[in-house]
Chains A and B, each alone.
Chain A
């Protein structure tokens, strides 16, 4: 019997979508391995994630609403999850490949003296062992990775790697008794500052509408934003557009920006330099709009439109609006 433990990221009780994706995947893995799905959520609102996690396949939620978890960075999560793992002895620990997920995964793996696997897009149980798939070098290779010597793998999972499909269960709540103190309080959160117009992180978006140097300035990004809004997506950019100051760095996709794996990536006025491609070529579907029929981006595109973006993009947005109105 092998249980799976997942770490849930939430915003005051609302689980992030990636955590639902992981819960649904964990349900399939636990079913294959003959075990149950345990989830752990910490900090204000944590226990309110219960119903939604149950909808997506979690059997038991270990949670604490104690706000001391929010008052310190990192250490309280490491301490609480480490002690939970000590009592549950799960066969695998799954976390989102996000800032907090990565920090927690790296540190937990060292405490447990086990291996950590980064940025995973596939996970299976083969002959009773977990086998993870990751892409490396911007998708040039797909590798299969295991943790040796029967230790439980700590696996960080890329957003959009798995679908958040319903696996309805009635999840049970278990209160976590661990409380941060001593060492766990050494990095203190003094304040949190929300910045205006902060972007939705591109790495979690399932639809990205990206613009490059072909846009020629900051204003045309509004046109891309309109299209993204119609599609329920977010705006991305090439480094050329970011370096020109047309859009901020968090939007940048590529080697020195974010690596993304959306369902749909629309590259507009982007030539497709290798440093851009390594950040987006594992997208499920790629659409490119470029006036140069020889632009390298077309080699990746499932659908390419050769033409002027200033004509095609507004026409496309209009067309989608029209269809929605029907």
Chain B
């Protein structure tokens, strides 16, 4: 079975994120990590490969430095990486990102394409559905359990009050949630082996895409303004004894019409 896992490089979670003058995330100044949500997709890809044989390729669109974060995935057990990187892609929205990832995936003959639930920086959770639609494949989202038998797929899809069981045929795009597994730590052996694994770089031309259809130019959406959050006025602090503080909080709730 050929498995692709879409992973993204994101700024370290504690990093202070700032926008550039043209409203893009200033990635230059930030330490980067593998998107934490994508570790679950990767772990699932590796487990499915261990159960069914085949290979796991990680696919990323990002700056050239994303190769470094991909090394972690290779050390976990992915077989190879595909890095889509081109300055023409800077500022891409969901439409363009999905177009580029779909172009790289289409020729790969993958049976299963796994995605994380959301990226820790964009946090839209929209890319996996858009990708499935570009590829014309079935889309199974919010998956907390994945079983494959032959070309048959059976998943548990998370619901707020339980789950539903969905069946479909491969090839398919599957978005997984945290509950699906516990990602492994790279072993020393894995880290050593990762050094010999290959990351293939692709640019717009290599994907057969026109630069004008990419990046800010090709995006369907445009950001026309961005305002940093104004500094918050310090709130009121209560240091009264508990019963008195409780009354004052209740007063505040009443003022805000939370209670009558």
Task: Identify which of B157, B160, B227, B237 contacts A298 (C-beta below 8 A).
Answer: B237
**Alpha-carbon separation in the docked complex, A81 to B20 (Å):** 37
Chain-B contact segment, one of A84-92, A216-224, A310-318: A310-318
Q: Is the CB of B121 within 8 A of A249?
A: no
Chain-A contact segment, one of B71-79, B92-100, B186-194, B204-212: B92-100
Q: Known contacts A99-B142, A147-B220, A195-B161; is A139 also within 8 Å of B260 by CB?
A: no
Q: Known contacts A145-B223, A315-B243; is A231 also within 8 Å of B179 by CB?
A: no
Q: Is the CB of A192 within 8 A of B259?
A: no
Task: Identify which of A115, A141, A199, A320 contacts B220 (C-beta below 8 A).
Answer: A115
Q: Which residues of B contact A106 (CB under 8 A)?
A: 94, 126-130, 133
Q: Is the CB of A303 within 8 A of B238?
A: yes
Residue of A nearest to B124 (CB): A118
Task: Identify which of B122, B141, B245 contacts A312 (C-beta below 8 A).
Answer: B245
Task: Identify which of B36, B123, B224, B250 contacts A144 (C-beta below 8 A).
Answer: B224
**Alpha-carbon separation in the docked complex, A136 to B17 (Å):** 10
Q: Does A186 contact B (CB under 8 A)?
A: yes
Q: Is the CB of B132 within 8 A of A107?
A: yes
Q: Known contacts A249-B179, A287-B249; is A201 also within 8 Å of B160 by CB?
A: yes
Q: Is the CB of B129 within 8 A of A103?
A: yes
Q: Hey, what's the 0/1 contact readout for B16-43 against A, CB within 8 Å counting as 1?
A: 1101000100000000000011000000
Q: Which residues of A contact B95 (CB under 8 A)?
A: 109-110, 113, 115-116
Chain B contact residues, majority secondary structure: mixed
Q: Does A250 contact B (CB under 8 A)?
A: yes
Q: Does A119 contact B (CB under 8 A)?
A: yes
Q: Is the CB of A306 within 8 A of B239?
A: yes
Q: Is the CB of B163 within 8 A of A315?
A: no
**Alpha-carbon separation in the docked complex, A198 to B159 (Å):** 9
Q: Chain B nearest CB: distance from A108 CB in Å?
A: 8
Q: Is the CB of B23 within 8 A of A143?
A: yes
Q: Does A280 contact B (CB under 8 A)?
A: no
Q: Which residues of B contact A250 (CB under 8 A)?
A: 160
Chain-B contact segment, one of A21-29, A48-56, A255-263: A255-263
Q: Is the CB of A274 within 8 A of B14?
A: yes
Q: Is the CB of A147 within 8 A of B161?
A: no
**Alpha-carbon separation in the docked complex, A188 to B165 (Å):** 8
Q: Does B120 contact A (CB under 8 A)?
A: yes
Q: Size of chain A's interface in residues, with CB distance under 8 A?
A: 89
Interface of chain A residues 170 through 213 with chain B (CB within 8 A): 186-195, 198-201, 207
**Alpha-carbon separation in the docked complex, A109 to B158 (Å):** 24
Q: Does B185 contact A (CB under 8 A)?
A: no
Chain B's interface size range is: 35 or more
Q: Is the CB of B253 within 8 A of A320?
A: yes
**Alpha-carbon separation in the docked complex, A143 to B128 (Å):** 23
Chain A contact residues, majority secondary structure: mixed
Q: Is the CB of B139 within 8 A of A187?
A: yes
Q: Does B69 contact A (CB under 8 A)?
A: no
Q: Is the CB of A195 within 8 A of B220?
A: no
**Alpha-carbon separation in the docked complex, A230 to B221 (Å):** 43
Q: Chain B nearest CB: distance from A73 CB in Å?
A: 5
Q: Is the CB of B160 within 8 A of A142?
A: no
Question: Which B residues fall within an 8 A CB radius of A?
Answer: 13-14, 16-17, 19, 23, 36-37, 93-95, 98, 120-130, 132-134, 138-142, 154, 157-169, 178-179, 219-229, 232, 234-239, 241-243, 245-250, 252-254, 256, 258-260
A-B contact pairs, 27 of them (CB 8 A): A74-B139, A102-B125, A115-B221, A140-B16, A140-B17, A141-B19, A142-B227, A144-B223, A145-B224, A146-B222, A151-B220, A188-B167, A189-B165, A192-B159, A192-B162, A193-B162, A195-B163, A198-B160, A231-B258, A231-B259, A256-B120, A263-B256, A303-B236, A303-B238, A312-B245, A319-B249, A320-B253
A-B pairs, 9 with minimum CB distance: A106-B129, A115-B220, A315-B246, A198-B161, A311-B242, A115-B221, A118-B124, A110-B133, A195-B162
Q: A145-B224, A249-B178 are in contact. List 20 more A-B contacts (CB 8 A).
A: A99-B142, A103-B129, A107-B139, A118-B94, A118-B123, A137-B17, A140-B17, A148-B220, A149-B220, A151-B220, A187-B140, A188-B168, A198-B161, A231-B258, A299-B234, A300-B235, A305-B237, A305-B249, A306-B237, A308-B242
Question: Which A residues fall within an 8 A CB radius of B?
Answer: 73-75, 78, 99, 102-107, 109-111, 113-119, 131, 136-137, 139-149, 151, 153, 156, 186-195, 198-201, 207, 230-231, 249-250, 255-256, 259, 263-264, 274-275, 285-287, 289, 293, 298-308, 311-312, 315-316, 318-320, 323-324
